[in-house]
Structure 1
Amino acid sequence: MSKTTVNALIKRGLSKKLAEKVAEKYTLSALEKLSDAKIKKEFGKDAEKILKALGREVKKEEKEKEKKKKRRGKVKEKAKKIEGIDAIKEEIHRIVKEKNEYLPSAVIEEIAEKVERENLTDKIEAIVERAIEEYNSHLMDPYEACGMVAAQSIGEPGTQMTMRTFHYAGVAEINVTLGLPRLIEIVDARKDPSTPMMTVYLEGVYRVNKEKAKEIANKIEVTRLINIAEVETDISNMKVVVKPNMKSMHRKDITMEDLLEALKKVSKVQIKEKKNEIEITPQEGNENYRELRRISEEVKNIKIKGIDGIRRAIIRKEGDEYVIYTEGSNFEKVLEIEGVDKTRTITNDIHAIYHVLGIEAARNAIINEAYSTLQEQGLNVDIRHIMLVADLMTATGVIRPIGRQGVSGEKGSVIARAAFEITVDHLLGAARRGEVDELKGVAENVIVGQPIKLGTGSVELAIDVKKLSKMKVKK
């Protein structure tokens, strides 16, 4: 018997004895779910009191009317909800405009949703004022040297980074470059990462069924003939003999037809299928040891199935789903495979992301890769510094490296370019073109020895000494 139910029923007007009788059989929530007929059958003459306590003294006709009203009002309620959010947004915009301040649209939307959800419309002005205060406290001051702060914030922890590769996903076969070499790869916007890899997420039945996940892994991983068969060179009979391993073929879901189809790609040969083996001989009139050696090497490395660039695919269970980790990357082709979740699958090849998904996705990839590389080393760098670097690298619509081939080599200032690398070439080229340096940046002002127009250098103040001497100092 629940004491909570007893107390709740007593509060609703039942006697203690009757409340205890009801609580022996039902909790309050279970009682509320029972129909009037069931309550009358269970409790007889006491049913009327129980129904009254549950607030069911309404007549049947009135109940039916209420139900109809509810049905009609369901569609209207949805519309009202949207209207409510829009009204809250308008009110927030009005308060912000009245105070001559600014809030990003994403922040306004978030405030509107929470105000509506928590029913805080009466406190909306105080909430908006607090949001404006928080937003303004996080803004940069005018003329703040944000680039230098970002460079120092990334560069200083970067000196503590180690030069190493790491065994990924608990599997010794997959190595991933981490630490300083990986950070250099990212900011240099290297077209080919030293250890390309992909994390392939699956959807539907493939993400929960291991056999289905294996099917996709087999489609992704490159399988060469040497992985599923023995290749012998019979010099005395001038032929190459392929002996398929049936277990390996079954595991990789490969048939003899697939094998013969792949061998047709080898040029200037004759192929004979025998029981449990395939014989490959050079064309007539071309039987020599050099040709036999060429055929042997070509046959060993011939691709049977899989996607070019992906050397290995390993399945791991993470939570309640299977995930495939690959050594090697071919982002475009993997996304074409049925069962691959295109919204979550990622690669560490930033240029592949740029070509397939565009510059915004590449910017996000630069931020995620750089941030996770620093985090993995235990270095806590504010993500805004990395975002500034990513913005600079992708601002023109293509990925530019931070170096003489990219951002640093494209600076507007001649002296800044000359200070970075290849001084003489930059100065001679600029003189030949008749370039003018307006000395707006940091490096060029330091070199010519004048104050930098940043921070305290951005404001010029003069003191009138005569007026200062006349001022009375309060003791």
Structure 2
Amino acid sequence: MPLTAEEIQKEIEKTLNGRFLPPSVIDELVEKSIEKKLSKTEIKKIMEKVIEVYERNKIDPSEACGIVGAQSIGEPGTQMTMRTFHYAGVAEINVTLGLPRLIEIVDARSTPSTPMMNIYLKDEYRKNADLAKKVANQIELTELNEIAEIETDLTELTITVRPDKETLDKKGLTVEELVDIIKKIKKIKAELKEDSSILISLDEPSYKNLLDISEKLKTLKVKGVEGINRVIIRNEPGEGYVIYSEGSNLEEVLKIEGVDPYRTTTNDIQAIARVLGIEAARNMIIQEAYDTLMEQGLNVDKRHIMLVADVMTVDGTIKAIGRHGVSGEKASVLSRAAFEITVNHLLDAGRRGEIDTLEGVAENIIVGQPVNLGTGAIKLVMKREKLRKVE
């Protein structure tokens, strides 16, 4: 008879015997033990191995994890390509990769140079090509000049819009809907003609008004989400239809029916922080940096990247790693001065009467003291008299 979750939990606690394992690891062990229907002996063997591996992977007290993390990301980073653009597979969507993308992430840029989204769909939509196309049409920004010819008549002071029937069908629009959208522009009248063209006349006819309205019509949003210029639908093995977009607007895309809000992602980390919160943004910094390195064939342990993400998001906002962010806000004057614009930092600190407590790495190296890390973190005094007595 298979063991219950409670019995497995008791067996794990018994094997642990006061030793520590993270709760997430214990939960996973319970889950897998139920799934595989393991016996008490098997659970004990697995537990011993897990504890051994966990103990081996713990870092030593006072380990310089920041320096190790910086080296582990920085060294492979020197092998990264400088090319900015790359066409993602068959879908011609520009993606910033390599070093430029990594710099973008740690600089906490307000918008990425090539914003894009991976839009996953709910069950019924991802299995049906027509439904997926319908969602894509709702997402892709369509302007009037893409679906119609706009002619300006300078003698009559009117504008004629001639919609392309084929493009309208493709976008799932009707001429009547188009007329309603055009009518929303102030100080004009729109009238549907028998040949399906739309005649636009002005309330206050003049050449200036005519040209202004003509320009406004060209960029008039007919359908779609602001900021998303192009979408591509791809049938992914084991997933169904996935929409890839050039441009990003997470907040609006998540409102569209058929979009799976739990799996849809964007490479705009600031937008994730605004819409989903700082924890989601932290996870995205880790994932984006890791994927950028892996794409170049550079295998970096995720925990080094996690350390960077934690430092960037520790106070609830995304801060850049640089003089305008994390490095410029250090409590130590000498540490700030060691990074950039040395003279300004020292003058400002002198004017304010700042005191440096010499607790970090850089400031202790500057004054020639042992650093409070590794062996330097231990204050040890040897009493020779007692040692002689022992001898």
Does residue 425 (structure 1) correspond to residue 361 (structure 2)? The answer is: no
CA distance in 2 between partners of 1:457 and 1:428 (Å)? 31
Q: Which residue of 2 aligns with 1:458?
A: 377
Give the partner amino acid of 2:231. A
Give the partner amino acid of 1:435. E
Q: Which residue of 2 aligns with 1:302?
A: 220
**Structure 2, unaligned runs of 5 or more:** none
Partner of 1:198: helix, strand, or coil?
strand
Q: Which residue of 2 aligns with 1:64?
A: none
Match 2:10 to one of 90, 115, 119: 90
Match 2:188 to one of 260, 269, 279: 269
Q: Which residue of 2 aligns with 1:314?
A: 232
CA gap of 1:123–1:302, structure 2 versus 1, over 3 A, is: closer
CA gap of 1:177–1:424, structure 2 versus 1, over 3 A, is: same
Q: Which residue of 2 aligns with 1:150?
A: 69
Match 1:281 to one of 193, 196, 201: 201
Conserved 8 A contact 1:154-1:385? yes
Match 1:168 to one of 85, 88, 91: 88
Q: Which residue of 2 aligns with 1:203?
A: 122
- Segment of structure 1 superposing worse, 230-239 or 140-149: 230-239
Partner of 1:170: helix, strand, or coil?
coil
Does residue 111 (structure 1) correspond to residue 29 (structure 2)? The answer is: yes
CA distance in 1 between partners of 2:87 and 2:270 (Å)? 24
Q: Which residue of 2 aligns with 1:220?
A: 139
Conserved 8 A contact 2:11-2:40? no
Does residue 253 (structure 1) correspond to residue 172 (structure 2)? The answer is: yes
Shift of 1:152: 0.9
Partner of 1:309: helix, strand, or coil?
coil
Partner of 2:80: helix, strand, or coil?
coil
- Segment of structure 1 superposing worse, 263-272 or 400-409: 263-272
**Structure 1, unaligned runs of 5 or more:** 1-76
Q: Which residue of 2 aligns with 1:377?
A: 296
CA distance in 2 between partners of 1:169 and 1:336 (Å)? 28
Normalised TM-score (structure 1): 0.76
Give the partner amino acid of 2:294. Q
Q: Which residue of 2 aligns with 1:128?
A: 47
Q: Which has the larger radius of gyration?
A: 1
Conserved 8 A contact 2:80-2:99? yes
Match 1:137 to one of 44, 56, 61: 56
Partner of 2:244: helix, strand, or coil?
strand
Shift of 1:458: 2.6
CA distance in 2 between partners of 1:125 and 1:226 (Å)? 70
CA distance in 1 between partners of 2:191 and 2:311 (Å)? 60
Match 1:413 to one of 315, 332, 354: 332
CA gap of 1:278–1:127, structure 2 versus 1, over 3 A, is: closer
- Segment of structure 1 superposing worse, 243-252 or 158-167: 158-167
Shift of 1:106: 1.6
Conserved 8 A contact 1:413-1:439? yes
Match 2:253 to one of 312, 329, 334: 334
Percent of aligned pairs with the same amino acid: 55
If asked which structure has higher relative contact order (CA below 8 Å, sep 6+), I would say 2
Partner of 1:379: helix, strand, or coil?
coil
Per-residue CA deviation, residues 329-366 of structure 1 (Å, 9 max, x unaligned), is 11111111111111111111111212222222111111
CA distance in 1 between partners of 2:355 and 2:184 (Å)? 61
Partner of 2:100: helix, strand, or coil?
helix
Per-residue CA deviation, residues 38-72 of structure 1 (Å, 9 max, x unaligned), is xxxxxxxxxxxxxxxxxxxxxxxxxxxxxxxxxxx
Normalised TM-score (structure 2): 0.92
Per-residue CA deviation, residues 253-307 of structure 1 (Å, 9 max, x unaligned), is 11112211221233332323222211223334x422x322211111111011111
Match 1:292 to one of 189, 192, 210: 210
CA distance in 2 between partners of 1:123 and 1:197 (Å)? 47
CA distance in 2 between partners of 1:445 and 1:403 (Å)? 20
Between Structure 1 and Structure 2, which shows a larger proportion of helix residues? Answer: 1
Per-residue CA deviation, residues 346-390 of structure 1 (Å, 9 max, x unaligned), is 111111212222222111111110000011111111111111111
Give the partner amino acid of 1:363. R
Q: Which residue of 2 aligns with 1:365?
A: 284
Shift of 1:316: 0.8
CA distance in 2 between partners of 1:195 and 1:319 (Å)? 26
Conserved 8 A contact 1:115-1:121? no
Partner of 2:217: helix, strand, or coil?
helix
CA distance in 1 between partners of 2:264 and 2:271 (Å)? 13
Partner of 1:397: helix, strand, or coil?
coil
Match 1:101 to one of 12, 19, 43: 19
